[in-house]
Amino acid sequence: MKRITTIFIALVIALSMVGTAFAGNLVVATDTNFPPFEFKDPKTGQHTGFDVELWDALAKEIGVEYDLQPMAFKGIVPGLQSAQLDAGIAGMSITDKRREVIDFSDGYYDSGLLLLVRADDTSITGIDTLDGKIVATKQGTTSVEFLKENANTAETKLFPNDNAMFMELLTGGVDAVMFDKPVIESFVSKRGKGEVKIVGDLYAGQPYGIGFPKDSELVSKVNAALKAIKANGTYNALYKKWFGVDAR
């Protein structure tokens, strides 16, 4: 009888520890530098951006606490796959390949890929004119596969962050950059204004989604919260703040 009582007490303690761990703050990954979606504010030193503020609004709607974990983009899917992360919001395109290993929320932003060249370059006019060219993009993103399957480049240079690949273009280390529409457009209108230009079409249009470990209970809750903040105007206010226009 004493042994049964001891086992029962141990089981209760174990279950209480599991409950406490589950009740702790969610760990939510975001990219370290993907403006205007996520980036470190030079004035405050804090990470901010559309994704960061969108997740905060969703978390408040759901009623959960979380810790934001900025990290290299290429580590987010593996982190979700191994359940070391509870969610990942980082301008992540919803693709069939990623769906094999993680779950996604409903799409929250429609994006695609754009091709960027120096302003004085007349040799590149689209994806079909990249033969023999050196193109830069960000490692671990959908643009890597797109270039591999659709362009005959001499080399595709992979960079860990946006700043590095844009600098490589400006200094002549590569002939073009292919990357996500909002980041390219932001660079063209700000730091690269007058020095670069967009050529060709919008390629591989895909929505961004929030990633989760397979079978996460958060997916349905986040989808419901996303619908709610779209209905009450919160989503549109954030969209207009970061992109300068109303959400479509």
Q: Model-level pTM?
A: 0.68
Alpha carbon distance 142, 92 (integer Å): 9
Question: 36: cis peptide before it, omega within 30°?
Answer: yes
How does 50-84 read in b/e, with b if 16+ C-beta sit within 10 Å? bbbbbbebbbebeebebebbbebbebbbebbbeee
- Please, what CATH class does the domain formed by 2-108+209-243 belong to? alpha beta
- Whether residue 136 contacts residue 168, with contact meaning beta carbons closer than 8 Å, is answered with yes
Radius of gyration of the chain (CA): 21
Give me the amino acid identity at 153.
T
Query: In 3D, which of 97, 220, 114 has the Cα closest to residue 176?
Result: 114
What's the whole-number mean pLDDT along residues 201-212?
A: 92
pLDDT in tens, 43-100: 999 999 999 999 999 999 999 999 999 999 999 999 999 999 999 999 999 999 999 9
The residue extents of the domains of the chain are: 2-108+209-243, 111-206
pLDDT digits (tens, 9 = 90+) for 150-192: 999 999 999 998 899 999 999 999 999 999 988 888 888 888 9
Beta bridge mates, 117: 197
Query: Is 13's pLDDT higher than 70?
Result: no
The pLDDT of residue 10 is above 70: no
How wide is the angle at C-alpha 50 spanned by C-alphas 48 and 53, nearest 5°?
Answer: 65
Average pLDDT over every residue of 108-130: 95
Q: What is the mean pLDDT of residues 23-50?
A: 92
Nearest to 118 by CA among 57, 185, 169: 169
pLDDT tens-digit profile of 227-240? 999 999 999 999 98
For position 23, what pLDDT does the model report? 52
CATH domain 111-206 topology: D-Maltodextrin-Binding Protein; domain 2 (3.40.190)
Fold equal for 2-108+209-243 and 111-206? yes
CB 174 within 8 A of CB 135: yes
Q: Is the pLDDT of residue 22 over 80?
A: no
- pLDDT of residue 196 exceeding 90: yes
The β-bridge relationship of strands 134-138 and 155-159 is parallel
